[in-house]
C-alpha cells in the first residue's frame, strides 16, 4: 500500500532532520568552548545521510533516509592568545572549538525547512487516506 509507505518515508526524514538539528544545537552550545590542549577541544559535529529501503516488501520504489554516522569536522582548532584565561597553557594560548556559527545557522534553517516539507508530505498523505476511507459513502 503506497500511501502507508509515505508515512514511513516521511517519518524517517523527520527523525533524520531531528538528528541534524540536534548536532546544530550541540555545535552552537559548544561554540565558545576552549581547552588547554588542541586534542581536547570540542569539534563541530555533522550527520551523514544515506538513503535506505523502506516498507515491508523492500521494493526499490520507496526509499527513506537514515543517519549513517556523525562525523567530526577536520578543521584545525584556532589558537588564541588569552593569558588571563584559567585554561591557558604556559605560553598564554587557549584552543577554541572549530565551530563556524554562520554555517551552523544556515544548516539549522535548511534542516527546519526539510522538516516542514516532510510534515507537509505526511499531512497530504493523511488527507488522501481519509478521503479514500470515505469512498462510496
Partner 1 sequence: MNFFDKALGSHAQALSLQSRRSSVLASNIVNADTPNYKARDIDFKQVLKSSQGDMLKLTGSKSGHIGSSGSGIKGSDLKYRIPLQPSLDGNTVDLDQEKAAFTENAMRYQTTLQFLTGRFTGIKGALKGE
Interacting residues with partner 1 (CB under 8 A): 1-3, 5-6, 9-10, 12-13, 16-17, 20, 48-51, 54-55, 59-65, 110, 114, 117-118, 120-121, 124-125, 127-128, 131-132, 135-136
The smaller minimum CB distance to partner 1, of residues 5 and 98, is found at 5
The smaller minimum CB distance to partner 1, of residues 50 and 80, is found at 50
The smaller minimum CB distance to partner 1, of residues 64 and 104, is found at 64
Query: Minimal distance in Å, beta carbon 73 to partner 1?
Result: 16
Taking the C-alpha atoms of residue 89 and residue 86, their distance in angstroms, rounded to an integer, is: 9
Residues 6+ apart with CB under 8 A from 81: 92, 93
Query: Minimal distance in Å, beta carbon 25 to partner 1?
Result: 17
Query: Minimal distance in Å, beta carbon 100 to partner 1?
Result: 18
Query: Minimal distance in Å, beta carbon 126 to partner 1?
Result: 11
Residues 6+ apart with CB under 8 A from 96: 32, 33, 34, 41, 77, 78, 79, 80
Taking the C-alpha atoms of residue 21 and residue 16, their distance in angstroms, rounded to an integer, is: 9
Upper half-sphere CA count for residue 133 (Cβ side, 13 Å): 7
Amino acid at each position: 500500500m503506497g500511501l502507508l509507505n509515505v508515512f514511513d518515508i516521511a517519518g524517517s526524514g523527520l527523525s533524520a532532520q531531528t538528528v541534524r538539528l540536534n548536532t546544530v544545537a550541540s555545535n552552537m552550545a559548544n561554540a565558545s568552548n576552549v581547552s588547554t590542549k588542541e586534542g581536547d577541544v570540542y569539534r563541530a559535529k555533522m550527520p551523514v545521510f544515506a538513503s535506505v529501503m523502506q516498507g515491508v516488501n523492500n521494493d526499490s520504489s520507496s526509499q527513506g533516509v537514515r543517519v549513517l554516522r556523525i562525523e567530526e569536522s577536520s578543521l584545525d582548532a584556532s589558537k588564541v592568545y588569552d593569558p588571563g584565561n584559567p585554561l591557558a597553557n604556559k605560553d598564554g594560548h587557549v584552543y577554541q572549538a572549530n565551530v563556524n556559527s554562520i554555517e551552523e545557522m544556515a544548516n539549522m534553517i535548511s534542516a527546519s525547512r526539510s522538516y516542514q516539507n516532510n510534515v507537509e508530505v505526511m499531512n497530504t498523505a493523511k488527507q488522501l487516506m481519509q478521503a479514500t476511507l470515505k469512498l462510496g459513502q
